[in-house]
């Protein structure tokens, strides 16, 4: 149930992101679904490694900000994964890091909402 809910939310976020952020192009609802699938696979395979790497390297920043940097890590991981997804898909394009951060934040927010509702 959680997997299906995340797929639906991520597809919706990928579909509406071009209307919110300039620099993102998704060619239709089917392309948004493929973005959600590829993003999910990448998140499963390397998302945990990116989160660990950013967490370890960002430890001094976490201490300096009294833990607030921990709120940024999921958005940063999602932005990197979305840029990698962009490399794999012709029907999805992100121009620049700011749109990737914005869409990554929406993915993190959507994932958090699904987690809260299904647990």
Instruction: List the chain domain ranges.
Output: 2-106
Q: How high does pLDDT run on average in the chain?
A: 96
Is residue 119 scored above 90 in pLDDT? Answer: no
pTM of the model: 0.94
Are 25 and 93 spatial neighbours (Cβ–Cβ below 8 Å)? yes
For residue 1, the model assigns a pLDDT of 80
Average pLDDT over residues 28-45: 97
Is residue 15 scored above 90 in pLDDT? Answer: yes
Is residue 69 scored above 90 in pLDDT? Answer: yes
Residue 52 to residue 76: CA distance in whole angstroms:
12
């Amino acid at each position: 149930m959680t997997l299906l809910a995340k797929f639906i939310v991520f597809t919706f976020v990928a579909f509406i992101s071009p209307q919110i952020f300039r620099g993102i192009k998704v060619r239709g609802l089917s392309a948004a679904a493929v973005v959600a699938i590829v993003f999910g696979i990448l998140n499963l395979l390397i998302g945990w490694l990116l989160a660990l790497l950013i967490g370890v390297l960002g430890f001094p920043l976490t201490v300096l900000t009294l833990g607030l940097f921990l709120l940024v890590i999921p958005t940063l991981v999602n932005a990197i994964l979305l840029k990698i997804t962009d490399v794999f898909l012709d029907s999805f394009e992100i121009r620049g890091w700011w749109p990737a951060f914005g869409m990554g934040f929406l993915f993190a927010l959507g994932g958090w909402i699904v987690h809260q509702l299904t647990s």
